[in-house]
Amino acid sequence: MATVDDLQFEEFGDATTSLVATPDATTIRIEDPDETPKHPPAPPRSSRREEDDELLGNDDSDKTELLAGQKKSSPFWTFEYYQTFFDVDTYQVFDRIKGSLLPIPGKNFVRLYIRSNPDLYGPFWICATLVFAIAISGNLSNFLIHLGEKTYHYVPEFRKVSIAATIIYSYAWLVPLALWGFLMWRNSKVMNIVSYSFLEIVCVYGYSLFIYIPTAILWIIPQKAVRWILVTVALGISGSVLAMTFWPAVREDNRRIALATIVTIVLLHMLLSVGCLAYFFDAPEMDHLPAATVVTPNQTVAAAKSS
């Protein structure tokens, strides 16, 4: 029955040619997986990408949520799930740090640098570096301030490391959580175009804390004026990064609520920096005070005796 010729493979050719031959036959066309049937097959790929970028620019929430959901497909108890949060290269981390140091008005940090790839590497290690920078600088500055005193015995105050760690890490995680909850709540009332995921907010806060690392190191200089100038500069830069990031998210809302949100964000940031300065760094004039307190009781005692 089966001759040798029948065993040769038959070339079926293209679907179009076979359709030409037998117009009534049904054919199945297997397309590329990322071309949907809605898109006409004619336009080249580049224009489709531009279309997507425009959509990303105008309609952040839907597309970014979709893409974010597509990326993190492993269940949360596997190691690969957490690896997706560390999917950054060295130059990307440097770019994000640079973006937090140079806030350009009109450019959104999240849209420009994070682009639905939030990472946890930056926030975690910037906070760790900041903790040690504050503790070490505080220690060093106290040592330099009390350098000449005979009664001062230097101790490396190790307890301050744990306190600094608690403060910085809770700021970097609890404030984004509160802010995210607040934004979600407002989103349910007022339809906002721009909405951020929790990780993106953590990312912005983490990278915005980077400016405080050189600030903490420069706080070693025991001059009050220098320290306050540094606080102002650092707060200005990181506050403006945060404000410019979150302004598009609240701008659709009631004017007063939007302004109150931004003011609260900046206020909390200021509280962190001033609080760290006050707690970890002794005021430079304190070494003059003990001499004054020694003198005045004697004077008051002498005055009381003489009167």
Which residues of the shown chain bind another protein in the complex (CB under 8 A)?
A: 1, 79, 82-83, 85-86, 88-91, 93, 121, 125, 128-129, 132, 136, 139, 153-159
Q: Give the CA radius of gyration of the chain.
A: 31
Length of the chain: 307
For 21, 49, 111, 260, the CA distances from 61, given in Å and listed in that order, are 49, 18, 11, 23
CB of 209 to another protein, least distance (A): 15
CB of 186 to another protein, least distance (A): 33
Six-digit token string for 38? 């809605």
CB nearer another protein, residue 162 or residue 223: 162
CA distance 243 to 108: 10
CB nearer another protein, residue 131 or residue 167: 131
At 258, phi and psi to the nearest 5? Answer: -60, -45
Q: Are 111 and 197 in contact, with CB atoms under 8 Å apart? A: no
Q: Is 106 left (phi over 0), alpha (psi -120 to 50) or beta?
A: left
Helix (H), strand (E) counts: the chain: 13, 0
Q: Look at the block and give the residue holding tokens 């301050």.
A: 160
CB of 93 to another protein, least distance (A): 6
CB of 4 to another protein, least distance (A): 13
CB nearer another protein, residue 153 or residue 305: 153
* Nearby residues of 131 by Cβ (< 8 Å), 6 or more positions away: 161, 164, 165, 168, 169
CA distance 109 to 203: 10
- Considering only the C-alpha atoms of the chain, give the largest distance between any 2 of them, rounded to a whole number of Å: 138
DSSP letter assigned to residue 116:
T
CB of 205 to another protein, least distance (A): 20
Q: Are 242 and 171 in contact, with CB atoms under 8 Å apart? A: no
CB of 87 to another protein, least distance (A): 8
CB nearer another protein, residue 138 or residue 239: 138
CB nearer another protein, residue 145 or residue 235: 145
CB nearer another protein, residue 161 or residue 257: 161
CB of 206 to another protein, least distance (A): 14
CB nearer another protein, residue 121 or residue 279: 121
Q: Are 104 and 190 in contact, with CB atoms under 8 Å apart? A: no
CA distance 271 to 114: 26
CB of 138 to another protein, least distance (A): 12
Q: Report how far Cα 124 is from the mean position of its chain's Cα atoms.
A: 10
CB nearer another protein, residue 162 or residue 232: 162
